[in-house]
Structure 1
């Protein structure tokens, strides 16, 4: 069997980074990938300003019991006068520091009346002043090409005045589910049929990563139905993901259909549980990844093996997220001949991370998917006990 890490690496390089970029308004940039390195256009903050509501003074003017006449009241967005010796200027959070001032005294540390402002707690020189450029210096790199844009990145770009940025075109994905037994949710069902959960699930997983699912099609177990579906998907999509139908049964027709279309399918038996059967093909220069039909297996394989390929084709810098480690909390010994990926919850504390498995780990237990927040990796042929440290994949990072 193909080692899990080898399969992951091969899939990560099965597609090409994008070459087409487009202008994107900043308000629509969440989930997009930067196609350019961004540099700061100005210092941040652009000038010294007050971090508190208070009074700007010269530190040298402070003396216990001394009142400083209030020269001016200056709100954020207004230009202060130069501070005169022996006086104070009333400031508010974000107000510019007046020329000549070097310290801000919080309003709670004194009192003001008609005679001026008396400081009742000795100030610290330079206190509560945000210095020009202390956050960002003009000309410094803000964000690197290949960065995933989230709310924090949008805040940083907006602070520099960027209203529009260059991003890569969205990756277009086609999903193909197969099987005579599957029905779309909402249709009347008989006992020999099941609802198609793979299509909606994989669509949601792909869209959560910022890709566009152009088509989510279903084919029955005939060569004609599969050929029609592949014709649509290959014409409109950059990447095709199929589910089921790649084994060697009489109605497993995905492999011969791919070969009829000029593709060569490389069928892998990956050393992982769940999710052993995985296949990769190239048709007309486009990658086609074939997942096992079991929904839990499809979820795990897509999450750990296919998402690196998506990131590569999106143009991201980090293709494989970091793997973390935690302490497994189990009531039995574990030992498998394949790497087993347990659906777990990761509980973070000052003592570390505790990984608690879902009680039922069968590959047909779909109820474990919304419950679990991570996948814990149990190495093949290694006996694992309660309290042992194992690697885990936090789905908050792997599915974004």
Structure 2
């Protein structure tokens, strides 16, 4: 069986990165991937501004000021945020009352906060000496003109939007999301809302996987189920494949009599990249190429399919969008209790807090899913190991 990392690399090597981009409003760009390097068009701020309410002064004129011996300056004006910058030659012995964000007059180099004065209107007494640059935001203090502010491949978030807005940008170029389709196989599956009959179960795979996919940088074009039938599944894949970049299937990849996916891929002329990975759960996971599309075929058990999705889909998405932030996040933490020997590499549901990871249940079956609500990560237990309390282990965090 192939190792997890080798399987991830096979997928990456088989498919190019996304090159198609589109221009969207910055309010629609959150969660998208920037398609170009962006440089500041203007400095932020474009003028020197006050960092708080007070008085604009020349720092050298405040030397020696104290409550016992205040320095007195004439107040020659009041400046508010939004006022034009004052070009003045009158500087010696004077101050301007100024509000936060207002432009500091040329030649003035500090703002003394109003609490350190007598709040004078025509004259003001200063009770403290201040240094040059105090409460003074110079041109480009936040961003200088020409500075790279966003990199190609960077995931755009709410903070990014604020930086773009400060540049006066209404739109931004982002990569088009990957188009994804989901086909869940299983004759035993029925839709939510349909009464259960003997031998049938509700299709939780479809809803769970669809929710995960939609939370990423992807466009889920369709989600449907198909019975365990070679002809129907082959026709469904051939019908749908041209509309997507990635087709995700669940079920039909193991060794049962109705596990038809490998046969279907061969029948339609697809090329297997791998089938079966040295991991548990989700050992029979398979990846294939067909019509320039990735077909990622996950285990049929819900927990196993979610583990497969996290390890292989997010890795592929991060590669395709050239954005490492889209990948599943990992961290080295300490183990709270012993883990028994495992001959195969295991991914064990767990809960990490403050750098310590704990098992939350002794139910680790692929068919059990409800206890994942109590978890936030998976412990990566290497093959042919037993782990002791206090050892460092790698954890993989669930995507939201």
TM-score, normalized by the shorter chain, greater than 0.5? yes
**Residue in structure 1 matched with residue 50 of structure 2 by the alignment:** 50
Is 1:367 aligned to 2:374, yes or no?
Answer: no
- Post-superposition shift, 1:223? 2.3
2:356 to 349, 354, 357: 354
- Please point out which of 73, 77, 85 is paired with 1:72: 77
Runs (5+) with no aligned partner, structure 1: none
Structure 1 residues 372 and 84: CA distance shift in structure 2, 3 A: same
Matching residue of 2:341: 335
Match of 1:263 among 262, 270, 274: 270
Query: Is residue 310–residue 328 contact of structure 2 (8 Å, CA) maintained in 1?
Result: no
Partner of residue 101, structure 1: 108
TM-score by length of 2: 0.92
2:41 maps to which residue?
Answer: 41
* Aligned partner of residue 249 in structure 1, secondary structure: coil
Instruction: Report the alpha carbon displacement of residue 302 of structure 1 after superposing the two structures with TM.
Output: 0.7
Shift of 1:317: 5.6
Query: Size of the alignment, in residue pairs?
Result: 392
Secondary structure at the counterpart of residue 258 of structure 2 = coil
Cα drift, residue 216 of structure 1: 0.5
Structure 2: gaps spanning 5 or more residues: none
**CA deviation digits over 1:6-25, x for unaligned, max 9?**
12222333322123222111
1:117 aligned to 2:117? no
1:277 corresponds in structure 2 to 284
Aligned to 1:311: 318
Corresponding residue number in structure 1 for 2:26: 26
Instruction: Specify the SS of the correspondent of 1:33.
Output: coil
Deviation at 1:93, TM superposition (A): 1.6
| Cα distance between partner residues in 1 of 2:136 and 2:379 | 47
Secondary structure at 1:200 match in 2: helix
SS in 1 for 2:342: coil
1:326, 1:389 within 8 Å by CA — same for their partners in 2? Answer: yes
- CA distance in 1 between counterparts of 2:121 and 2:43 reads 38
> What is the CA distance between 1:390 and its match in structure 2?
0.8
Aligned partners of 1:267 and 1:277 also within 8 Å = no
Residue 387 (structure 1) aligns with: 390
CA RMSD of aligned residues (A): 2.0
